Structure 1
Amino acid sequence: MLTQPTSTPGSLQRHPNSDTLAIGGDWTLQHYAALRREVEQARRQGSDADCIELDAIGELDTAGAGLLVELLGTARIASLPEWAPQLPPERQALLQTVAAALDQPRAKQEPEPNGLADVLAHIGRSVAGVWNQQRTLLGFIGLTLQTLFTVILNPRRWRITALVAHIEQTGLDAVPIVALLTFLVGAVVAFLGATVLADFGATIYTVNLVAFSFLREFGVLLAAILLAGRTASAFAAQIGAMKANEEIDAIRAIGLSPVELLVLPRVLAMLITLPILTFIGMLSGIVGGLVVCSLALDISPAMFFTILQRDISINHFLVGLGKAPVFAFLIAVIGCLEGFKASGSAQSVGEHTTSSVVQSIFMVILLDAIAALFFMGMGW
C-alpha cells in the first residue's frame, strides 16, 4: 500500500547571531492559515533582514508566493536573480509574476450613486451627442454640395429618371394632403381671428390675418413639416434598407458614388417640390379663410380679394417662398444622412428613421424662428 508523502509546513527562522532570515518548508495553500500568522508576526517584528535564505523551500504555489511577496516586498523580489541565484528558474518566475500582479494599482472603488451628478452627466452626454450630430450634419452638407457642383458641370452624369421619380414621390403624391391640411388650418385661423377681433369690431381684419400668416409662415411651415414626416422618413428608410442589404457597399465596389447616385436626386427633387407645395399651401390656406369669411363673416369673395390686393404686399409672399428651398435642402440631407448612419439591423433602421423626422422638424422650426426674427429686425 502506497503512503502519501507528508507535507512540511513552511517556516521562518531568524538566526540569533546574524541578521539572516531562513525560509523553508512547503509554502502552499494547504498551510495558508499557519503561514499567514507567521508572516504577520514576522512583519510585526521587522522583516528587513540583510540576508534571505531560500534554499530550504519545499513546495511553492501561488498562495505561498503571494505570502512571500507580501513578506519580502516587490522590490526585493524583482532583484531575486541577484541575491538568490540558486533558486530554480521556475520558482523565480512564479514569485516575480505574483509580485508584478500584486504591484499593479488596484481599481478605484466605484463612488456611491449621486442623483444630481447622474442627471448632470446625462445632460453632458446629451449635449455632446447633439454637438457631434451637428458636426456630422455639416460635414455631410459639405460633401453633398461638393458632389452637386461636380455633377452639375457634367450633364452626362445627370440622373433625370431618378430625379423625375423622386419629384413624383415627394411632390405630386403629397399635393392632396398638403392642400387639405392647409385649407383646414386656414379655416381654423379665420375662425379664431374672427372670434378675437369681433370684440373690437374689427372682423374685417381677419382677411389680413389669414393672408399674412399663410404667406409668411403657415404655408411654408406646414408644407415643410409634412414633408419632414412623410419624405425624410422615406429617404432614411430607403437608404437604411439598402445599407442593411449591403447595396451601398456594392455601389462603392463598382466605382460609383453613393452620394451622387442616392443623395443628389433626392435633394434636387425636394428643392423643386417644396416651393411648389408651399405655393399650393398658401393658396389653400387663403381659400380656407375665404370660405369662413364668406359663410360666417359676410365678407364677399370680391371684398376678400380687394383687401388682399390693397393691404398685402408681395414681399410677404417672397419671404415665405424664399424659405422653402432652405427647408427642402435640410430635410433631404437629414433624411439621407440618417439612412447612411443606420446599421444592418431592422431596429437601427427604425431608430434612424424616427431620428430623421425629429431632426427635420426641429431644424425647420428652429430656422423658421431665426428667419422670423431676422426679417422682423430688417423690417421686411
Structure 2
Amino acid sequence: MILHELLDYDTLRVIWWVLLGVLLIAFATTGGFDLGVGTLLPFVAKTDTERRVAINSVGATWEGNQVWLILGGGAIFAAWPPLYAVSFSGFYLAMFATLFALILRPVGFKYRSKRESPRWRNNWDWALFVGGFVPSLIFGVAVGNVLQGVPFRFADDMRIFYEGTFFGLLNPYALLCGLLSVAMLVMHGAAWLILKTEGPVAERARHYGSLAAFAAILLFALGGIFLAAGVDGYRITSEINTVGPSNPLFKTAEHAGTWFANYGTYPWLLIAPACGFAGAALALLSMRARLEVTTLLFSKLSIFGIISTVGVSMFPFILPSSLDPRASLTVWDASSSHMTLFIMLVVSAIFLPLIFLYTAWVYKVLWGKVDEKAITDKSGHAY
C-alpha cells in the first residue's frame, strides 16, 4: 500500500478544512487580543505611562502570535490553491490595506519609545490603533462577503476572472460582520488587559470590554437574522465526487436555499453558535464580577463559537461564487493533491504540537501583571 493511501482523499480534505479552522481560531485567540489592545489603546490609557502599560501587556508575545496568521496563509496557499488565488487576487486592495495596517504595528512597537516627544509618541499610538482596528474590521468584512458570495468565475481553461470592486466589498451585511469582528476582538483585548494590568487601565478595559461583549452578542444575533432573511445560501445540485480530482467546474451548484441547512441535518452543530453567544455573555458577566482568567477563557470560547459558526454553516463550501455558482470552491474540489495533503499533514503532526508547547511555555514564563512601577523604573519592559 502506498503510504499516502492510509487516509482517503475525502478524509484528508475534511481534515485540512478542520485544520484551516484551527489555525484561524488560533490566530484570533492569540493575535486577536493584540489587535484588541491596539484598538483600545486611545480609550483605556490616558497618560504616557498608562499607554506603556497597555503596550507592554502584549509586548512580549505579539511577535510570536503572528505565527498563526502566517501558518493560516501558508495552509491556504498549499492546501487550497484555488482559494488562495481567488481570495488574494480578488480582495487585493483589502489585503493591501490589511498588510499596511499590520506593518504599522511592529513599527509602532519598535519606534514609539525611541523619543521622549509627546507628539512623536502620540502619533505612534494612533498608528498602533490603526494597526489594531483596520485588520479587525477588514477580516470581518471579508467573511461577510464570503457568506454572500464573491463575484468571480472560471474560464474553461481555469483562468480566474474577478469582477468585483473594493467599494463593492463594503456592503451593509459585510460591514455588519466587520463590526462584529471588531467587537469580538475588542472584547478579547479587554479581557487580556484585565488579566495583565491593574488600576485605571484595567478598570477602563473592564468598562469598554463589557460594552464590546454586549455589542458582540447583539451583532452576532443580527448577523444570523440577516443571513436567514436576506442572504441565500448555496447548494450543490449534482452528485458530489469526494474522491475525484480537484476541479470546481466538474459540479453544478445554485444560489438558493439557506446556510442553515446543515443544522437541520446535524443538530449537534448548533453547539457552534451556542458557544458564540454563551462565551460572550459569560465574558460580560465575568468582567462585571471582576474575574480575570475566566473572562479571558470565556472570550476565547466566544471567538471559537463565532468563527466555527461560519465554517459549519457554509460546509462544504469554502468560497461561493455569486457570478457562477458552479465555480464555487468547496472542500471536495478546491484542494491540493492527495499526496500533497498527506505530506503536509505529517509535517503538521510533527510541528504543530511543538508550536503549541512552545507557545504555552512562553505564556507560562511571562505570566504576571504589568504595573506602572515596572514601567517607570525600567525593570525589563521593552516598550
TM-score (norm 2): 0.23
Structure of higher RCO (CA pairs closer than 8 Å, 6+ residues apart)? 2
Larger radius of gyration: 1
TM-score (norm 1): 0.23
